[in-house]
Amino acid sequence: MPELPEIEIVKRSLLEMILRAKIIHVKIKNKKLRYKVPNFFSKQLKNQKILKIERRSKYLIFHLNKYLLLAHLGMTGKFLIIRSKDSKLYKTSFYYNLNILTKHNHIYFKLNNGLILVYNDVRKFGFFKLIKKNKLNKIIFLKKLGLEPLSNKFNTKYFLNFVEKRKKNIKNLLMDQKFVSGLGNIYVNESLFMSKIHPLRVCNSLKKKEINRLINKIKKILKISISKGGSSIRDFKNTSGQTGSFQQFFKVYGRENEDCSRISCNNRIKKIFISNRSSFYCPKCQK
């Protein structure tokens, strides 16, 4: 599932390729996404210019002349770009390769800059919503979201206020979208490892020093993974291959039974399930 850094990378790629382009035609191959693509979708998008692209949590918001187009990539959604003149395919994120089956291309947005924006989604859990422009604050999907992890408001004070009387474990707290939005399982695992905090610690038992460290590590990890994607963004106008491998930077996620990556530690990484999500941690380093 794409996590926050990937969506941020997709946003930056799209900004580079399609900002200020006008949608001249929308072809819908398959309406059955997580929510059905409405009948008037193509008509309303025609002649709309892409004025701004924003990310909120794992949502992308395209600001058009009259509308806001909200997009969520679900489990396997991807934006691709096709250059009309030679059908050359470009990806918008280094996370996936280009062995993409066109049968999973569901929507084609033809643009006036010679490019076609394509929405591809194997499992079809992604979706689009078209909303009137002055209704941004009323978008139900965005309303329930907690703070952005990279915003300044996501800080120790906020954490302390939020957890005051809460007894849930820190892993579940960080996964709670009402607390902080867009932090997925991988980044929660990595941040807890980097902060030396056991995933099952009761959240209001954390000391101020630990909270400071945790928040700093969360921001740092997200920024690093966004910047790793940045290098492929620079390439992406002239290449069309390279698969990214941010995975190689994971210190704990997916490393069950491997040696802890801290040189001073000789323990092995354990895997447990917390609320049905796999959690990896070092029993020696994380307390």
Which residues contact Zn ion (rule: CB under 5 A)? 260, 262, 265, 267, 282, 284-285
> Which one, 70 or 260, has the nearer CB to Zn ion?
260
For residue 30, the minimal CB distance to Zn ion (Å) is: 47
Catalytic-role residue among 49, 271, 277, 284: 277
Return the exposure string of 53-64: e unless at least 16 CB atoms fall within 10 Å of the residue's CB, then b.
bebbbbbbbbbb
For residue 60, the minimal CB distance to Zn ion (Å) is: 37
| Residue appearing with tokens 């990937």 | 6
* Long-range CB contact pairs, 185-188, < 8 A, 24+: 185/253, 185/277, 185/278, 186/3, 186/250, 186/253, 187/3, 187/4, 187/5, 187/218, 187/221, 187/222, 187/225
Catalytic-role residue among 11, 55, 58, 110: 58
Cα angle, residue 182 at apex, residues 270 and 8 outer, rounded to 5°:
110
Task: Reply yes or no on whether 164 is catalytic.
Answer: no
For residue 280, the minimal CB distance to Zn ion (Å) is: 11
**How are strands ordered across the β-sheet holding 88-91?**
23-28, 105-111, 115-121, 77-83, 88-91
Task: Reply yes or no on whether 2 is catalytic.
Answer: yes
For residue 266, the minimal CB distance to Zn ion (Å) is: 8
> Which one, 54 or 258, has the nearer CB to Zn ion?
258
Q: Taken in order 113, 70, 220, 95, is the CA torsion positive or negative?
A: negative
> Which one, 118 or 197, has the nearer CB to Zn ion?
197
> Which one, 62 or 193, has the nearer CB to Zn ion?
193
Catalytic-role residue among 3, 8, 148, 190: 3
The residues assigned a catalytic role are 2-3, 58, 277
